[in-house]
Structure 1
Amino acid sequence: MQHPIALAPMGGSSGGALAAAVSRGGGLGLLGAGDGDSDWLAREATMVKQGTDKPWGIGFLTWAIDADAVERALEYQPRAMMLSFGDPSPFTERIRQSGTTLIIQVTDLEEARQAVELGADVIVAQGTESGGHGARHGRSTLPFVPTVVDLVAPVPVLAAGGIADGRGLAAALALGAAGALIGTRFQASAEALVPPSIATAILEGRGQDTERNRVLDIARGSAWPAQYTARTLGHRYLDQWRGREAELAADVEAQRDYQDDVARGEVPPEPVWAGEAVDLITGLSPAADLVSHLAAQAEDILNRVGRH
């Protein structure tokens, strides 16, 4: 790796083309393999292997996978594997035995301690500003990252949540992190696996319009565990059901209405996952160029600060 930037393994966004582009740009591209669907993994892992000779990896939702998913993924010889959300202990020994770099994402200090005990090579400290899913009762990136850095030293830490430009990367390094895991910014890139409407929504979105909630997971029948909420841009169903999650969960007809609205095109097929730094995203860029731009901007800022 040339730059301290990793692609967040976002389900539905971080496919083979995007992961390969980030790695070619000098960062670490991570496939968002989600629950380990074998057909998806075969297609996208093949794409990233063909697209770069630089290090790349695979990220999983820990609560959604089994040992077979890990075994299938290791067949593609990723340099790193990242586990997020849930108990990683059933899978860590096998990953470490393979020689694959083990990355574990944490959302609180107890998870950070567990990650150290399990032998994580890299720990991602995720703040609540992040887009997509995270802990319901998490902490903000600014105070959380240095606390994790101190707790898990000398294990390197990547900061995640609310980082969308070189200033955020510079801040992460100043907090003691070894680099940053960046998600929402890479959704607005040429290679992301998102339809144009999602990219447009991100470019037009504002951080104040993002909201962390379980409403959309419930409405779309997602199996995400209740302890994780998701930060998204505004949505009609959020306005309709905010604060009434239990009622929505019991209302089968309302959930069917959601699917009908998706089929009619009245609501997007997927929520628009977006972090609080979405305001900073003002254009689409090739991902490799974006990596080098973020790194150069961070370097310039750190140099200027160092002269004062």
Structure 2
Amino acid sequence: MALSTAFTELFGVEHPIALAPMGGSAGGALAAAVSRGGGLGLLGSGNGARDWLARELPVVADEGAGKPWGIGFLTWAIDDGAVARALEYGPSAVMLSFGDPGPFVERIRSTGTALIIQVTDLEEARRAVDLGADVIVAQGTEAGGHGARHGRSTLPFVPVVVDLAAPVPVLAAGGIADGRGVAAALALGAAGALLGTRFQATAEALVAPATARAIVEGRGEDTERSSVLDIARGSRWPARYTARTLAHPVLDAWRGREDELAADPHAREAYQDAVARGEIPALPQWASEAVDLIDDLPSAADLVADLAAGAEDALARAGRR
């Protein structure tokens, strides 16, 4: 059973699976591997740092074997120049997340590049429709990394966005880590699934070995959504977005005391000193509630095939029942 959807037809990919453009860790090798595997690899450039783009864009362009690929940006953290530099490499899509995508839409559309907009609530979903998004990603609160402080879970959120956005294809995101999750996304009316944490635990991900091990060994009940680590490390993330991570000693020390932490420069200095000494990870260990389902570190291309096969099996079993 071929899983052909509006998403696979739009991009000419084999499977309805996309790589979440995780800032920093979804580098060129990972995006290229996902695309070679039949999904849509999305480079995670985050704030569009010039040096990072100069290093990773040629990798995905060279290693992608001519397959479709894209790039994602944190909309609140970029300028028009970052988008322009990425477009020079001819991506199939640009994905904008977390913030108003409006200022960048004309630049992207002028090159014929598909526009993907990630949304975390219905206000953002309506804005994405009004801007003419080619694909909308509906992210539930189970997702690892950043998401809406007051968002909704993936299961009820995705079909609402599907109905609101029709006929624009929607990808489900948040708490999806195996083929059953991909099948569930399709059953909810989505045209595919966008996965992050599952692809963090692959051979090509730009993550520290300790972080990859922590994901493989992690449990969903150990993840927590908070703004503490953003405050402690001096990140400028907008207050409306918090981040789901694995357990962290700074979370334990400052949970519920965010205002106090924000007002204490010595605490933030202590955080950076602890990072420098190797006592805590250089970056928070982003992880979704589905982290329990991850127990290996495969190549990303093989993982895409396994996810697709698992989704086909799950849908076939459901049909027999």
TM-score normalised by length of structure 2: 0.95
Unaligned runs of 5+ in 1: none
Partners of 2:135 and 2:296 in 1: how far apart?
31
1:216 pairs, out of 217, 223, 229, with 229
Output one character per residue of 1:135-160: Cα deviation in whole Å (capped at 9) or x when no partner. Answer: 10000000000000000100000000
1:26 pairs, out of 38, 56, 74, with 38
1:176 pairs, out of 167, 189, 195, with 189
Partners of 1:192 and 1:233 in 2: how far apart?
18
Aligned Cα root-mean-square deviation (Å): 0.5
Partners of 1:125 and 1:101 in 2: how far apart?
17
Work out whether 1:282 is the aligned partner of 2:282: no
| Residue of structure 2 equivalent to 1:73 | 86
Partners of 2:262 and 2:158 in 1: how far apart?
34
Work out whether 1:83 is the aligned partner of 2:96: yes
| Residue of structure 2 equivalent to 1:3 | 15
2:124 pairs, out of 86, 111, 116, with 111
Partners of 2:95 and 2:205 in 1: how far apart?
19
Output one character per residue of 1:84-113: Cα deviation in whole Å (capped at 9) or x when no partner. Answer: 000000001211121000000001111111
Return the offset for 1:304: 1.5
Tell me which amino acid in the other structure corresponds to 1:197: A
Return the offset for 1:19: 0.2
Provide the secondary structure at the position in 2 that maps to 1:226. coil
Unaligned runs of 5+ in 2: 1-12
Matches within 5 A, 1:1-308: 1-52=13-64, 53-308=66-321
Provide the secondary structure at the position in 1 that maps to 2:315. helix
- Identity among equivalent positions (%) equals 77
Partners of 1:97 and 1:111 in 2: how far apart?
23
Tell me which amino acid in the other structure corresponds to 2:78: I
Return the offset for 1:222: 0.6
TM-score normalised by length of structure 1: 0.99
Provide the secondary structure at the position in 2 that maps to 1:34. coil
Tell me which amino acid in the other structure corresponds to 2:156: P
Provide the secondary structure at the position in 2 that maps to 1:93. helix
Partners of 1:163 and 1:145 in 2: how far apart?
12
Output one character per residue of 1:5-58: Cα deviation in whole Å (capped at 9) or x when no partner. Answer: 000000121000000000000000000011111111111110011101100000
Aligned residues: 308
Partners of 2:301 and 2:245 in 1: how far apart?
25
Partners of 1:68 and 1:297 in 2: how far apart?
40
Q: Answer with 121-130 or 37-46: which moved more.
A: 37-46
